[in-house]
Each structure stands twice: as C-alpha cells, then as structure tokens.
Amino acid sequence: MVKLLSDAIASVITAFDHTMDTVLDFQTEEYQCLPAGLTLIEGIGRQLVGKVPTPVIVEADTAAQRDIDTASALMRGMGLDEGDMIENPCIFDPTFAGEGCGFCEELDVGSQKAAVEERWNSFPMSEKVVDLIDEFQARLGVGEAPPFGEIEDNVDSGSGYYSGGTSVASQIIEYILMEMGGNTTSWGWGQFSRDDVYRFLEAHIYYREVQDRALPLNLRSHSYMSSEILATLGSGVEGTRVLVGHDSELDALASIFGLEWSTPPFPRNATTPGSGIRFDVNGEGEVSVSLHYQAFDGTDDVLFADAAFTWSGGREAVGIEELKEYLGGKLSDECMP
C-alpha cells in the first residue's frame, strides 16, 4: 500500500536565457513558463488524482515566479485550492538569504569549482556523447562561432561552472526541447524531428550529470530536503507532500539517494521539464522511487517509470532503515534550520 510521497516537480517549460532571445523567440518573459507548459502541468494534476494518497499538501519554491505558476497549475488540475499553497523557499535553497532562510552560506567559488572538477574527472564524457555533439553541430550547420568540439571544456574559475562547447551545446538542446514541449509547430529552426530531440538530449543530460550531480554541492543544497523526505516517509502519516521546484532538485536527489532511471523516449537519467520524482513507503517500511513525466509528443499523457538504487545492486525498493543508514553519515546538518 502506498502511504506517502514527496514529489519534486522540475522546472516547467521556461524560456530560459538571455543570449538566445535574439535567436529563439519564446514570446514569453525570460525564466517564465510557456502557456503550453502550464497546460501540461494542469494535465499532470488531473491525471494524478486518485493515484496519490490524500490529503495532498503542495509546497513551492515561492522565490521563483515560475514555480508559483507551476504549483498553481498543478493544484488547479488536482482540484485543490491554490490559496492553500505553502510557501517554503528554504527547503529548496537553505543558502537563500531572504525569507528567514540562509541556514548556511554557499560554498566559495574555489570549492564549487573543485567539486565540479572532481565530478567531471570521475564521470568523463563517453564517445557516444562526443559523437552526438559533433552530429548536432553538423546538423546546425556552420556559423560564425567555432564548432562546439573546438570550444574547450573547462570548469570556469570565475563561476565554478562546467563551461565550454559542451555547455553551449547542452543549452541549445534544452531550448529546442522547450520549444517542442511548448507545443510550437516547428522547433529547432524546423531541422529536428521529435526523435532527434529525444536523442540529442543525452548531451544535455551529460552536462547536468557533471554540473548538477557533484555530491559535496548536492549535500550542501539538498541535505535539508533529503532529511525532510526521510522524516515524511517515516512519519506514519497518510497523505502526499508535493514539493514544486526545479530540475536541479531531481539531479540532487538522484545524487544523494544514489538513484538512476530510464524515462523513455528520453535517454537515461533525464530530468525533463514538468517531470517529478516520487518517494513512496509501504506498510512494510519499504521505500520505492518513481518518476512521472510527459513525452512532449502533442498529448498531455503522464508516463511513469521506476527508479533503481544503484548502491543496492539496482533494487527498486529498499528498507527505510537501510536507506537511513546509507544517508546517515552524509547529510550535512549545517544547512538545516
């Protein structure tokens, strides 16, 4: 029996970047949701009714308007009163200085750079991704800028971010995914089929796996959320706790809880707009994790996939005590209230 769940819905389809505005016109304000993205989220809400234990509580990263809009759309779909949305920006970013958060400071840029570099070294790019980026470049054609493969990858000392050709390719692929999810009739300058977009997404996922899954950074930003998830699962209270945040939530939780997944038609470990990660505990105290997502195929159908715990031989359910033991020494209580 499913008893509880905590669910982070990734950032919805957002029009994301400054530099691309001249190239791709999302006809919406920067960093805000596309209208079709919100329609899709409402569809998720509708389809989750009856599939999640009640009562349902929705908490959002109210520091970002796109998360408020996402949570509202979800609540509308679920038939909940939007006025009942709980403002909880601190659980998404305990280093955020406003709204009574700021339980710890962000790591300095040097430490961030070292963590991302370490992650990059231990998770090198596969030949397959190298080839994909080359193919993506070939499909885009030759422009004034050098090809992605000739812009050297590095971890930037000013920002601590994984930068260079892979980063640029990753961002452009993400915009094209957003265009497709945004229900436009033509995406990526009309040059890419849906299957192309699914396939090229692997390069974007690789970028995120380096930049957004460096464990020391994840523990700093998401120990608090992880311990709240454990506490919610262990509370014995029936119901559903929904956290509406960003794709970085899914990456951080995958990193901390040691999870992998496959959400076809997307490549492995995708954290696509509107998708959510769900933690359930059953009456025997076994925890299982699943993803729900949409394929941006013109329908709003919600798809489900089980995640596996990599550290337990790929099992799809582990005991809550076992999970607590796995996380026990890792979580940093420095970044909790």
Ligand X SMILES: *[C@@H]1O[C@H](CO)[C@@H](O)[C@H](O)[C@H]1NC(C)=O
Window contacting ligand X (CB under 6 A); options: 8-16, 32-40, 170-178, 228-236: 32-40
Tokens of 226: 């992880």
Our finding on whether 235 is near ligand X (CB under 6 A) is: no
Which of 148, 193, 150 shows the shortest CA–CA distance to 171? 148
Q: Which residues in 205-224 contact ligand X (CB under 6 A)?
A: 209
Q: Please say which residue, 227 or 269, places its beta carbon nearer to ligand X.
A: 269
Candidate list 191, 193, 235, 310; residue touching ligand X; CB under 6 A: 310
Our finding on whether 300 is near ligand X (CB under 6 A) is: yes
> Least CB distance from residue 268 to ligand X, whole Å?
4
Q: Please say which residue, 260 or 321, places its beta carbon nearer to ligand X.
A: 260
Candidate list 2, 3, 28, 39; residue touching ligand X; CB under 6 A: 39
Window contacting ligand X (CB under 6 A); options: 34-42, 44-52, 72-80, 142-150: 34-42
Candidate list 240, 269, 272, 288; residue touching ligand X; CB under 6 A: 269
Candidate list 28, 154, 171, 183; residue touching ligand X; CB under 6 A: 183
Q: At what angle do helices 194-211 and 127-140 cross, to 10 degrees?
A: 130
* Dihedral sign of CA atoms 194, 199, 200, 206 in order: positive
Q: Identify the residue whose tokens are 């209230």.
A: 337
d(CA 143, CA 146): 7
Our finding on whether 186 is near ligand X (CB under 6 A) is: no
Q: Please say which residue, 36 or 104, places its beta carbon nearer to ligand X.
A: 36
Helix-then-strand count for the chain, H and E: 10, 11
Our finding on whether 111 is near ligand X (CB under 6 A) is: no
Our finding on whether 179 is near ligand X (CB under 6 A) is: no
Our finding on whether 268 is near ligand X (CB under 6 A) is: yes
Q: Please say which residue, 166 or 232, places its beta carbon nearer to ligand X.
A: 166
What is the maximal distance between C-alpha atoms in the chain?
60
SS3 label, residue 10: coil
Identify the burial level of 285 via C-beta atoms within 10 angstroms of its C-beta, where 0-12 means exposed, 13-18 middle and 19 or more buried: middle
d(CA 12, CA 65): 11
> Least CB distance from residue 98 to ligand X, whole Å?
32
What is the DSSP track for 136-185? HHHHH---SSPPGGGS--EE-TTT--EESHHHHHHHHHHHHHHHHHTT-S
SS3 label, residue 5: strand
Candidate list 36, 151, 168, 303; residue touching ligand X; CB under 6 A: 36
> Least CB distance from residue 254 to ligand X, whole Å?
6
Q: At what angle do helices 127-140 and 165-181 cross, to 10 degrees?
A: 70
Q: Please say which residue, 174 or 209, places its beta carbon nearer to ligand X.
A: 209
Q: Please say which residue, 33 or 281, places its beta carbon nearer to ligand X.
A: 33
Query: Contact, 88 vs 59, CB < 8 A?
Result: yes
Our finding on whether 154 is near ligand X (CB under 6 A) is: no
Our finding on whether 108 is near ligand X (CB under 6 A) is: no
Candidate list 40, 74, 115, 219; residue touching ligand X; CB under 6 A: 40
Tokens of 90: 């601190």
Our finding on whether 70 is near ligand X (CB under 6 A) is: no
Which residues here bind ligand X, judged by CB under 6 A? Answer: 36, 39-40, 183, 209, 260, 268-269, 300, 310
